[in-house]
Structure 1
Amino acid sequence: MKIAIIGCGYVGSAVAQLWSQKGHQLTVTTTTPERVSELQNITPQVVVMKGNDSQAMQDVLQNQEVVLLSVGDRYRTGYKQTYLETAQTLVAALKQTPTVKQIIYTASYSVYGDKNGEWVDENSPVTPSTESGKILHETEEVLLSASTPQQPVCILRLGGIYGPGRELVKIFSRWEGQTRPGSGDDVTNWIHLDDIVGALEFAREKRLQGIYNLVSNVPMISRELLDGLHKYQGLEKIYWDPSTSSTRPFNARVSNQKLRNEGFKLIHPEIKINIGSTI
């Protein structure tokens, strides 16, 4: 198939390698010129562009069959341009590119907002508690507006991403020895890079349509996760201050049952901290 990956970062690069190995013809985009040579090791078709560049988007989508939107704002400085404007530009370009038969978007479970640790699924109300969360939800709405039986849009709401080069120990090392606000009772949801890649291929093969949560089977309490990293992974102990409120804007147990009901099986169904390999 001819596949365009809009935003070829940590996730996009990983799935691009799989799709390239499977023989698909890839076109990938990046906003960083310095990454072109790296990405050309995966596919010769690398385009440097911003997501809100209408002409560049139309050029990239020409003759494509599948589009994966996997953008990210690593430094959290431009959510509107990175997510919303890219989605708007993509949907507008689709009107000129009738070959596109499927759109897949890697979203975030943060759109659920603070649910006081209660279980949520894809039918639960979306109540983002931050401006970035509201932009992410609006991005979903824009993309879903383009969904038809002939051109399905699949949105995967990802948990926190970990994997090679982005191990949990590395993610939380900046908190070592610190006292964090709150009791640590808030719930976190994670997903391994292997399972993101697997789910993207699954969504492509099954032509999934609609919203699916992509998280591990077992949510984790923040305190238990960090205590485990301290005990088994060599992370310096992190303390909690229950007299202050937690600063985390989302707190929910996210169910992945809908995706599992479709037949998807996770490689890493839960985080196993007390094992030898680095998590």
Structure 2
Amino acid sequence: MHLTIVGCGYVGMALARHLQERRPKLRLTLTTTQNDRRAELDPLADQVVVCEAQSQLGLYEALNGCDIAVFSFGPAGNHQVDEAGYRHIFIDSFACLDKLLPELATLKQLIYTSSCSVYGDARGSWVDEATPPNPRDDLGAVILESERLLQSMASSSRRVCLLRLGALHGLSRDLKRRFRSLAGQKWNSDGQEYTNWIHVDDVAGVLTAAIDGNWSGVVNVVDNTPISMSELLDSTLQQQGLEPIQWSKEVRGSICNRRICNARLHKLGYQLIHPSTAPTIGSVNVCGDPKRLRP
């Protein structure tokens, strides 16, 4: 089997490392936009292609002859990107792919690491894959548009799988380190809005399961326990002996409050490595029972 990972940032690298035990039976192609990353990527792949995903020549080189393509590109972590930047990264890339598909006869599965941001605000209610998307901002709207563009490429011989990821944590994104600087700060909400997380180990595991199982359609990729912002931050800071957040009684600004159900992920047979981000889960509602397909 020949697999191409388009975009080797945080998620793409996690998947590439996860798949190393399958080589050399698995032929692996990785793409990057930075030539200086070759030395890092060469040991992990049979082929490294330096290209922009909006380049027909570069994308064709990366995808020619491959069976499965995983698209895990996105803005660089140290760059703020506006709507136009998002459109260039996501829409232009998939438009380029669409033009190339007639020349990519071996390509049987397209997998996209999308985002739960397409759901928007649900006022704390549960949402699942059947919930109509309702992005709260222009960036979420671009992600939804990119999903629909990729879905239009599905055919009787080509499956499309959209993995909607929650907020990421794990190696190099430790929550204690991330939240340490917030100690004692004022927060413009009461902290009761829910957040939904997934460990990067599980993202790599789910991607591998999607490849092995030839998944299609939309799958929410979050852990079992949505957790309120106040519970997550206060407990994380308390564990480090730091001051708690000063929560406001008045909610200001745009708050995104939803609980993402992962029942379909369980139904597909995936077992989470990290079932919970919460320090304790006694007070957290869980939508992880595979028998409970709708919250």
| Fold similarity call, TM over 0.5 | yes
Percent of aligned pairs with the same amino acid:
37
Residue 29 of structure 1 aligns with which residue? 31
Shift of 1:235: 4.7
Residue 50 of structure 2 aligns with which residue? 48
Which of 142, 157, 177 is the equivalent residue of 2:184? 177
Q: Distance in 1 between matches of 2:243 and 2:92?
A: 41
Residue 10 of structure 2 aligns with which residue? 10
**Equivalent AA in structure 1 for residue 16 of structure 2:** A
Three-state SS of the structure 1 residue aligned to 2:5 is strand
Taking structure 1 as the reference length, the TM-score comes to 0.93
**Distance change >3 Å, CA 93–CA 224, structure 1 → 2:** same
Three-state SS of the structure 2 residue aligned to 1:63 is coil
Three-state SS of the structure 2 residue aligned to 1:41 is helix
Q: Distance in 2 between matches of 1:232 and 1:199?
A: 30
Residue 135 of structure 2 aligns with which residue? 128
Q: Distance in 1 between matches of 2:199 and 2:92?
A: 28
Three-state SS of the structure 1 residue aligned to 2:191 is coil
Answering whether residue 261 of structure 2 is matched by residue 255 of structure 1, we say yes
Residue 277 of structure 1 aligns with which residue? none
Which of 242, 248, 260 is the equivalent residue of 1:241? 248
CA displacement 1:39-84 (0-9 Å, x = unmatched)? 1121241111111111211121110011000012122312111122
Answering whether residue 67 of structure 2 is matched by residue 60 of structure 1, we say no
Alignment of 1:1-279 (within 5 A): 1-23=1-23, 24-73=26-75, 74=77, 75-77=79-81, 78-248=85-255, 250-273=256-279
Three-state SS of the structure 1 residue aligned to 2:3 is strand
**Distance change >3 Å, CA 269–CA 69, structure 1 → 2:** same
Q: Distance in 1 between matches of 2:251 and 2:70?
A: 41
Q: Distance in 2 between matches of 1:226 and 1:235?
A: 11
After TM superposition, the runs of 4+ consecutive aligned structure 1 residues lying more than 4 A away are none
**Equivalent AA in structure 1 for residue 187 of structure 2:** R
Deviating more after overlay: 251-260 vs 29-38: 29-38
Q: Distance in 2 between matches of 1:260 and 1:221?
A: 22
Q: Is the 8 A contact 1:51 1:81 kept in 2?
A: no
The two structures, once aligned, show a CA RMSD in angstroms of: 1.5
Q: Distance in 2 between matches of 1:247 and 1:178?
A: 19
CA displacement 1:127-171 (0-9 Å, x = unmatched)? 101110000000100000011232100010000000011111222
**Distance change >3 Å, CA 177–CA 200, structure 1 → 2:** same
Three-state SS of the structure 2 residue aligned to 1:80 is helix
Structure 2: gaps of 5 or more residues: 281-295
CA displacement 1:189-232 (0-9 Å, x = unmatched)? 00001110110010001100100000001101000000110112
Three-state SS of the structure 2 residue aligned to 1:161 is strand
Q: Is the 8 A contact 1:49 1:56 kept in 2?
A: yes
Q: Is the 8 A contact 1:183 1:246 kept in 2?
A: no
Q: Distance in 2 between matches of 1:101 and 1:258?
A: 22
